[in-house]
Structures are given as structure tokens and as C-alpha cells.
Chain A
Amino acid sequence: MSDIIFNAFKANIMNGTIDLDTDEIYVMLTTDAFTATADTMEFVCEVSSEVTGTGYTAGGVILGDAAVTVDDTDDEGVFDATDTTWASSTLTARYAVIYKRTTETATSPLICCIDFTEDKSSSNGDFKIAWNEEGILNLN
């Protein structure tokens, strides 16, 4: 499975349901047992195989310094944030799921799923997602 942008997100970004630089945007981790489906998944409650481990709390963490910018070099809009770290953790993850957090998982809309291409593990250390230079998401 490669990176996926959920179809519902494409509509949600157009109708203002999701506002990337003012909503609470979270990132959660899943194991390789999770399969993201762009055209049927809509909310966090549909995400399975979330990681469990020392230093990890269910639901993940909020993205810090989330910002939307314009990249005139590549003619695109870019959504980016500070790298995300689970410090002093012991865990193994394959995917990062980005979503907008609301009061309930059943109403927290999914945004995208990022494939690390292989399992990444920390052992009593930092588990860090260093976001791509193209940003977490870009629209071109």
C-alpha cells in the first residue's frame, strides 16, 4: 500500500469541513496490518491496528506548527508541520494516519495515510516522523 488521500477529505477540504491550519490535526500510528481504503473510509473509528507501545497514547498526537503555504517553484499549495516525535518510546509502526480530531472518533474525518514503506521501530528512544520536503500534503 502506498500513500493514500481519502476521497472524503477531498470533498471536506472543498466545503470547509476541514481547515488545515486552524483545526486540530492529529497523526496516529498503525501497524502493517492496517489497510487504508480511499473510497470507503471516512472517519477515525474505521481505522484498525493502531499501534500500542510504551510512550504511545491511542489517537496519536497533534501536529505542531501546522501551516499552509504557497510554493511558486512547483506551483502548489503545501501543508506542513513540525516533525512529530514520540520520545522514550518502544513501538513499531508502518503507517501514519492524519486526521482532524473532533469530540468523537466517529466524527473525526480522515485526511491521508502515509506509508513508511517498511516497519519503523524505536526501543526506549525517539520515534520520529520527519515529514517529506514536499510537505505532508501538497495540491498541485
Chain B
Amino acid sequence: MDSSTLNPEQLKHRAIVEAKRGRVRDENGKIVFSKEQLLQRQTHFQVKLETYKTRIENIKKILKDIEGQL
């Protein structure tokens, strides 16, 4: 016996609402990204790599400052 937290009617409603927001799932509920969304994600994570480099530098400065106050 299978179990789902949403019934068939709720799943239908979800598909309509999500479609309006540009979100699509396959029949198993897996999110399917469009090519445009994949390109956006690619850019997002490339930027994030740079963001983390900056954060690491900022953290080093904060730690150095703390050490100076101890």
C-alpha cells in the first residue's frame, strides 16, 4: 500500500499553482529545470563560489581582529 502526504486532487492543484510560478515536476515529483533555469542555476553557483572566497577572507579578518582583542 502506497502513501502520499498529498491526495490526487491536492497534487493536481499543486501542479497548477507551481506551473504559474514556473516550477515543473515529472510524474514522480522530481523537479524538472528548464534550460533557462539551469543556466540561472549555473550562474548562481558560479557567483556563489566567488562569494565564498570573499567570505573566507572576511572571516580571517574577523578572527585576526578578535585575536587582537584577546
Same complex origin of A and B: yes
Q: Which residues of A contact B (CB under 8 A)?
A: 16, 21-22, 64-65, 67, 69, 71, 73, 78, 80-83, 85, 116, 120-133
Find chain B residues with CB under 8 A from A65 CB: 30-31, 33
Q: Which of B14, B21, B33 has the most CB of A within 10 A?
A: B21
If over half of A's interface residues share one DSSP class (helix, strand or loop), that class is named, otherwise mixed; here it is: strand
Q: Could you jot down 24 A-B contacts, CB within 8 Å?
A: A64-B30, A65-B31, A67-B31, A71-B21, A73-B20, A80-B31, A81-B31, A82-B29, A82-B30, A83-B29, A85-B28, A120-B3, A120-B4, A121-B1, A122-B1, A122-B3, A123-B1, A124-B1, A126-B2, A128-B4, A128-B29, A130-B11, A133-B14, A133-B18
The 7 closest A-B pairs by CB, nearest first: A83-B29, A130-B6, A125-B2, A133-B17, A133-B14, A123-B1, A122-B3
